[in-house]
Amino acid sequence: MSLNWITQTEVNNYGFEVERCALSAEPQEWNKIGFVAGNGNSNSLKEYSYTDKFPTGGSKYQYRLKQIDNDGQFEYSEAIEVELVPTEFTLFKTIQIHLIQGQR
């Protein structure tokens, strides 16, 4: 799951904690899954991304960002909901081979 976002300006931006909540899990709770460093101070557009390589706990998730300032103050983004749908299925079949001694 690739998450992408942009900022137009930044003031004292330390960075972003990326958080995930599995909607099928009990209890539903937010977990920090990564961190992306910010650009401090900027008046130009900045692009960010984070890849959640191992989503666990179901197929429906919510993601949000915790933007943290250099002084420790923080603010949460709105949560977005995502449903993962498999695009490829693989079937594995086990084959048993019995060798009879003396035969080739």
Q: For 65-81, what is each residue's pLDDT tens digit?
A: 999 999 999 999 999 99
What are the b/e assignments for 83-103, b being 16+ CB within 10 Å? eeeeeeeeeeeeeeeeeeeee
Q: What pTM did the predictor assign?
A: 0.77
Per-residue confidence (pLDDT) for residue 91, from 0 to 100:
64
Per-residue confidence (pLDDT) for residue 55, from 0 to 100:
82
d(CA 18, CA 21): 11
Instruction: Give the residues of the chain that fall short of pLDDT 50.
Output: 98, 104
Per-residue confidence (pLDDT) for residue 94, from 0 to 100:
57
Which residues fall within 8 angstroms of residue 83, CB to CB, at 6 or more apart? Answer: 59, 60, 61
**What would the CATH number be for the domain defined by 2-83?**
2.60.40.10
d(CA 63, CA 65): 7
What single-letter DSSP state applies at residue 68? E
d(CA 45, CA 39): 11
